[in-house]
Chains A and B, each alone.
Chain A
Amino acid sequence: MSVKVENLRIAYRTLAGDVGAVDDVTFAITDGEIMGLAGESGCGKSTLGNSLVFLDGRMKQLGGRVELDGTELPIADTRAMRPRRMKDISLIPQYAMSALNPTRKISKIVADLLRCHGVRYGQVLAELERRIALVGLDDDVLDRYSFELSGGMRQRVTLVLSTLLDPSLLIADEITSALDVSTQRAVGEMMMEFRARAFVKSMIVITHDLAILGQIADSILVMYAGRLAEKADADTIINSPLHPYTQMLLASLPEVGVRYEDAVLTGIPGRPPQLSNPPRGCRFRDRCPFAFDRCAEPPPFEEVRPGHHVACWKVAEQEAAA
């Protein structure tokens, strides 16, 4: 197992107390797996992904354990995490392409990052150039400033930077959201390529776009209001989802080829609950058409079919009867 997360709970510190953003999350990723972490805004997927790399001042770990390649990852200890960031576990944060320092050349930014890990720029330059070429950029990108590059180019540079030291786990937070559809495809394919060439062992791709995950992910983990809703491999999630939220979410996605005249899509009425005071029991209960009285208890995230985990009483009932 490459990555194991057990009962992880992360909260944000606010003036009104701690607000739980990630509640009792457990999952595992094997070597070579690309796992998609899907959900809407506010569900905690970004928090989950970021917390594995860098727990910033606002966040705090309330419980749980993270294991990477067999050893524990001390995510709550920022100092102890420093040598492991970028080497063992790497992150491409949201808006990373806007976060490149505009006053420094790309080569200088890379050199800085490498120096933090005791690697000399000259040592990796050859490999760096190979990878730059692999993502379809010219060599002279290294001599340019970030503002000289387009959005897609910057995203590709960020992809190369974050994987330069061959981390075991790469977490990519919404890296395709701000891109054009053709660049999206290019970046998506590049990520699969990086995995194929073993630059990265496994990946967590965080996005709200299930369609992209259907293309590049091996498995998908769906989150709702800080908790896990469903996990299975990508084809199963897309073609035969079990959790009501996943089903309704997929049914609301417009697709090329589907027109209003042919089929009216519907969204999910209501809004996700406020995490400052979440409801007891299943958090999707108020919006779920299948809710019944058992839902007043929080459903466990359990394996109802081989390789398919769901947190839903109705589903558990149906699978037990089957």
Chain B
Amino acid sequence: MSEHLTGKPVEVAVAPLTEPAAPMVPGVPAAASAVITPAGLGPVLLVPRRRREFLYYAGHNRKLIFGLSLEMLFVLGAIFGPLLSPHDPYAFFGSYLRPSAQHWLGTDNLGHDLFAQLVWGLRDSYLVGALGALCASLVGMALGFTAGWRGGWVDEVLQMLTNIIVMIPALVLLIVIGAYLKTRGVLFEGIFIGLTTWPWVARAVRAQTFTLRSREFVDLARLSGQRAWRIVIRDIGPNMASYLFLAVVLLFGSSMLLAASYDFLGLGPTNGVSLGTMMNGANIYSALQLHQWWWFVAPGAVLTGMVAALLIANVGLDEVFNPKLREQ
């Protein structure tokens, strides 16, 4: 007998395999028991485990509540403002009228009511913001998922593409396109912004996909004969859901800002009013020199408020999703 054996037989009776139901104590909510993390449990993911816990934290997060409420104000303004505004933004009144009971923000150089422009412009900004965000998210996610999942040369090619898009100066491109397109609408602007801002989404999605792809549940899905696109959408996607949501919110804000800056430079939609066109008008027609500061302060403040509220809500949402960021 080699010295490697213990030499001591273990005397145990042969017992049938049973795992009787452990005495689970009734009435204990799963939420309580699962918060303790004994050694051996997997890592905590960003996706909140139970709706109740998520809603609790969401309801108690000050940043989220503040940001959302402020944003709601503006959204309501965009929806109901044009209905409440007594004037049409294209109707002519006297030029350069000061604010009064009939014209809350006065009129511009051509006699258009500024308040009407403001509330109609809100709609425009939201529309472009949504279009831009949607377009950028779709393109970015599609390319990001593909690059992350396939890897290899597909990834190399897509990365090259991403880098090229990043390098192209969007403003210059817009100027060039503007020279050829006589009329441009909100749709064009939204899509243009979408197609020039997707790279950072794509990069982030690609990185996350790489990480999630090596997880064992993805292996298991492959061993179940699942097709690649199904695995990406049904298995990988939901685990990034919180990140994707935050990305879309950020894109929304940045699209609005970008649209306003393009409009300000006169590169926006050829017809129509928006916050940016208002500020453009105020700049060109010397609102500052004429002491009509409300002409540009109003849209500027509203734009700042809209985007800031969104960003604050975003930070709050990040804290809700990620337990490690919460202040205890």
Contacts and interface: CB of A to CB of B under 8 A. Distances in A.
Direct contact of A and B (CB under 8 A): yes
B172 interface: no
A264 B33 contact: no
A42 B22 CA distance: 15
Contact of B19 (A17, A265, A270, A274): A270
A46 interface: yes
B225 interface: no
A276 B33 contact: yes
B33 A274 contact: yes
A57 interface: yes
Nearest to B26: A277
Contacts of A256: 4-6
B167 interface: no
A19 interface: yes
Interface of A: 12, 14-17, 19, 21, 41-42, 46, 57-58, 94, 174, 251, 255-258, 262-266, 269-271, 273-277, 279, 286
B36 A257 contact: no
A269 B18 contact: yes
Interface residues of B, number: 32
Nearest to B8: A257
B6 A255 contact: yes
- A-side interface mostly: loop
Interface of B: 4-7, 9-15, 18-20, 22-25, 27-29, 31-33, 35-36, 38-40, 53, 56, 328
Contact of A270 (B7, B22, B29): B22
B28 A251 contact: no
Contacts of A257: 4-7
A277 B12 contact: no
Given A257-B5, A258-B10, A16 B32 contact: yes
A12 B150 CA distance: 43
B15 A266 contact: yes
Given A15-B35, A274-B28, 9 more contacts: A14-B32, A14-B36, A19-B35, A94-B39, A256-B6, A264-B12, A269-B18, A274-B33, A276-B36
B22 A21 contact: no
Given A14-B32, A15-B53, A271-B22, A262 B9 contact: yes
B328 A57 contact: yes
Contacts of A12: 35-36
B38 A264 contact: no
A256 B14 CA distance: 19
Contact of A15 (B18, B27, B32): B32
A151 to B, nearest CB: 17
Contacts of A273: 22-23, 25
Nearest to A13: B328
A58 B11 CA distance: 44
A57 B12 CA distance: 45
B31 to A, nearest CB: 6
Contacts of B15: 264, 266
Contacts of A57: 328
Contacts of B36: 12, 14, 19, 21, 42, 275-276
A14 B30 CA distance: 12
B14 A274 contact: no
* List of 7 A-B pairs having minimum Cβ-Cβ separation, nearest first: A16-B32, A42-B38, A257-B5, A271-B22, A41-B38, A14-B35, A257-B6
A17 B32 contact: yes
Nearest to B1: A257
25 contacts: A14-B35, A15-B32, A15-B35, A16-B28, A16-B32, A16-B35, A17-B32, A42-B38, A42-B39, A57-B328, A58-B328, A256-B5, A257-B5, A263-B12, A265-B12, A266-B12, A266-B14, A266-B15, A269-B18, A269-B19, A270-B22, A274-B24, A276-B36, A279-B25, A286-B23
